[in-house]
Amino acid sequence: MGTTIEFRGCYTAIVTPFSADGARVDLDRLRRQIADQAAEGVTGIVVAGTTGESPTLTDEEYRALAAAAVKAGRAAGLTVILGTGSNSTHHAVELQRAARDLGAHAALSVNPYYNKPGQEGLYRHFMAQADACDLPVVLYNIPGRTGVALTPETVERLAKHPNIRAVKEATGSTDSCGEIAARCPGLAVLSGDDSMTLPFASVGALGVVSVVSNVAPARTSGLCAAFLQGRWSEALRIHRELLPLCRALFVETNPIPVKAAMKVLGKDTGVLRLPMTEARAETVETVRRAMSGLGLCG
């Protein structure tokens, strides 16, 4: 289904829009957000990831969200990647198969969180998912959220599996990113931190799974296009333009600030589900100021 995908460019880690009371997923608003992303030139979307508040979704909501996103994203010509991560390998395998059945192009699987497995446990976990069905896997290496990191050596072992096609590298380490890119020439490395997109590109990354592109999709995709086409001076200019917004969207835990930004833009209710809470007033002001600097709001 998705085996010919080339993982390059900007993939928006799309927010999950909730109703004003937080009781339901607003699928109509989701479709509008996906249409906006496509119109602004991103390569694809990542659904039900960290930014999508996946831990707060019921199984029924996950399937409804995923089905709607796959249908809308495919119709718009976007690559659709579904979050399938879990700290239970059995559950992760079930989600991997569900993503395949729902029509996703690929799956994004986070390091098992809380359990704190060793490298062999991480290896077996991801291999079980990759073996489960013929759907490309994007590893999601984010130790700040999960408490464990995939080492470059383990990523190299995993990259030998034909279904493991990319890694979202959210370590913040150019050393780790560069070593993975050097060890695994057939594996696409995507930045998992917006402020590191260009630094990671300088050591071999091919794009980003972006929070910022919820708010500034054209500029973020333009940044990726610039460095992928060797226009490094232009890429640096865009990187510097985006940096204040990158910082603003992480002054509180993601996705609190980006939900506030989407509300300012009139594209979301801004509602989060507990244990996430609404942005502080000073966060909203910081976000508004950063967006205003880019001409995104008044």
Other beta carbons less than 10 A from residue 126's beta carbon: 27
**Per-residue pLDDT tens digits for 133-142:** 999 999 999 9
- pLDDT greater than 70 at residue 267: yes
Mean pLDDT for the stretch of residues 156-168: 98
Residue span of the structural domain in which 205 resides: 9-231
Question: 127, 135, 14, 97: which is closest to 150 by C-alpha?
Answer: 127
pTM of the model: 0.97
**Domain assignment of residue 160, yes or no:** yes
**Per-residue pLDDT tens digits for 172-206:** 999 999 999 999 999 999 999 999 999 999 999 99
- pLDDT greater than 80 at residue 298: no
Mean pLDDT for the stretch of residues 270-282: 97
- pLDDT greater than 70 at residue 2: no
- pLDDT greater than 80 at residue 1: no
Q: Are 106 and 119 in contact (CB under 8 A)?
A: no
**Domain assignment of residue 93, yes or no:** yes
Q: Are 61 and 25 in contact (CB under 8 A)?
A: yes
Q: What is the DSSP string of 112-172?
A: PPSS---HHHHHHHHHHHHHHSS--EEEEE-HHHHS----HHHHHHHTTSTTEEEEEE-S-
- For the domain that residue 126 is a member of, what is the CATH number? 3.20.20.70
**Domain assignment of residue 123, yes or no:** yes
Q: Model confidence at 4, in pLDDT bands (50, 70, 90)?
A: confident
Q: What total number of domains does the chain contain?
A: 1
Q: In whole angstroms, give the CA distance from residue 112 to residue 123.
A: 11
Q: In whole angstroms, give the CA distance from residue 140 to residue 25.
A: 24
**Per-residue pLDDT tens digits for 51-97:** 999 999 999 999 999 999 999 999 999 999 999 999 999 999 999 99
Mean pLDDT for the stretch of residues 146-171: 97
Q: Are 234 and 223 in contact (CB under 8 A)?
A: no
Give the length of the chain. Answer: 298
**Domain assignment of residue 239, yes or no:** no
**Domain assignment of residue 144, yes or no:** yes
Active site residue 168: yes
H or E segment and range at residue 4: none
Mean pLDDT for the stretch of residues 18-31: 97
- Report the share of the chain in percent with pLDDT over 70: 99
pLDDT, the chain, mean:
97
Which of 71, 116, 123, 140 is an active site residue? 140
Q: Residue 245's Cα: distance from chain center in Å?
A: 17
User: Judging by beta carbons within 10 Å of its beta carbon (0-12, 13-18, 19+), is residue 275 exposed, middle or buried?
Assistant: exposed
Q: Model confidence at 297, in pLDDT bands (50, 70, 90)?
A: confident
Mean pLDDT for the stretch of residues 103-125: 97
Q: What is the per-residue pLDDT for 268?
A: 97
**Domain assignment of residue 237, yes or no:** no
Which stretches of the chain are DSSP H helices?
27-39, 59-75, 89-102, 119-132, 143-146, 152-158, 174-183, 197-201, 217-228, 232-248, 256-264, 281-293
**Domain assignment of residue 120, yes or no:** yes
**Domain assignment of residue 261, yes or no:** no
Question: 199, 166, 211: which is closest to 46 by C-alpha?
Answer: 211
Active site residue 114: no
Q: In whole angstroms, give the CA distance from residue 293 to residue 276.
A: 27
Which of 168, 259, 263, 267 is an active site residue? 168
Q: Which two tokens stand for residue 57?
A: 């979704």
